[in-house]
Amino acid sequence: MPEKIIGILGGMGPEATIDLFYKIIKFTPAEKDQDHLRIIIDNNPKIPDRTAAILGKGEDPLPALQESARNLEKAGVDFIIIPCNTAHYFLSSIQKSVKIPVLNMIEEAAKETQQRIFPIQKVGLLASIGIYKTEIYHQHFNKFNIEVISPEEKDKEEVMKVIYAVKAGNLSDEVKGNILEIAQKLIDKGAEVIITGCTEIPLILKEGDVSVPTIDPTQVLAKAAVQKARL
């Protein structure tokens, strides 16, 4: 059976898209160029801000998300992956706009956490305010009886500042220190795992940076995409 072509609906932000692309390459068993998977990327940074839209303060990103999905389908991809957690709030509507599957990064992250770190009761979530407001992670993790712990309200604002700093290319020790401080507060509240639930956060917070395991949904999605493409 021929390998499937992966479509990346990217640009939210561009570095997070590169990060997913890189992780797919690293997860692919290959000894030469031809062993790698074919990937078509629509890197569309013009998609309106997802969190602003969810908070009622910005333009609806759904039409642009659907357009990118349709472009990937027309280009011949077999399935789509989206390196943006907050965009998953619009996932069902994106899926309705195309006839090919769109993988759910948050669902994959919940499955991976339950399988890799068992038994587990509580995870700490670092994410955008849009993710906290919609509770998408809560919905998927609750299926496995895993409680999701969110930061205090003022710390949610700090997480957003870190996310936008990383989007602006600021990967300084100060920015990293800010996210580590909030991660530690979640651990102090009982989190057994930290979920880096915004695709910018794994660019600055790595496995081993905190005292508990971390789950990087971008990495989980990359692994799932490679498995699906090679079936």
Residue 64: per-residue pLDDT: 98
Please provide the average confidence, as pLDDT, over all residues in the chain.
97
Q: Which residues are catalytic?
A: 84, 198
**In whole angstroms, what separates CA 188 from the centre of its chain?**
24
Q: What percent of the chain has pLDDT over 90?
A: 97
Task: Identify whether the C-beta of residue 18 lies closer than 8 Å to the C-beta of residue 45.
Answer: no
Residue 7: per-residue pLDDT: 98
The dihedrals phi and psi of 122, each to the nearest 5 degrees, come to -135, 135
pLDDT above 90 for 213: yes
The tens digit of pLDDT for each residue in 151-203 reads: 999 999 999 999 999 999 999 999 999 999 999 999 999 999 999 999 999 99
The tens digit of pLDDT for each residue in 109-155 reads: 999 999 998 899 999 999 999 999 999 999 999 999 999 999 999 99
- Give the position of tokens 């965009």: 87
In CATH, the number for domain 6-104+219-230 is 3.40.50.1860
Residue 181: per-residue pLDDT: 98
Domain boundaries, the chain: 6-104+219-230, 105-217
Mean local confidence (pLDDT), 7-32: 97
Distance CA 22, CA 5 (A): 16
pLDDT above 90 for 104: yes
Residue 1: per-residue pLDDT: 74
Residue 206: per-residue pLDDT: 94
Range in 98-102, 117-121, 170-174, 225-229 the model is least confident about: 117-121
pLDDT above 90 for 103: yes
Prediction pTM value: 0.95
Distance CA 218, CA 106 (A): 9
- Sign, CA dihedral 35-2-85-47, equals positive
Residue 185: per-residue pLDDT: 98
The domain at 105-217 falls in which architecture? 3-Layer(aba) Sandwich (3.40)
Tokens found for residue 215: 């789950």
pLDDT above 80 for 32: yes
Task: Identify whether the C-beta of residue 158 lies closer than 8 Å to the C-beta of residue 176.
Answer: no
Tokens found for residue 24: 């797919």
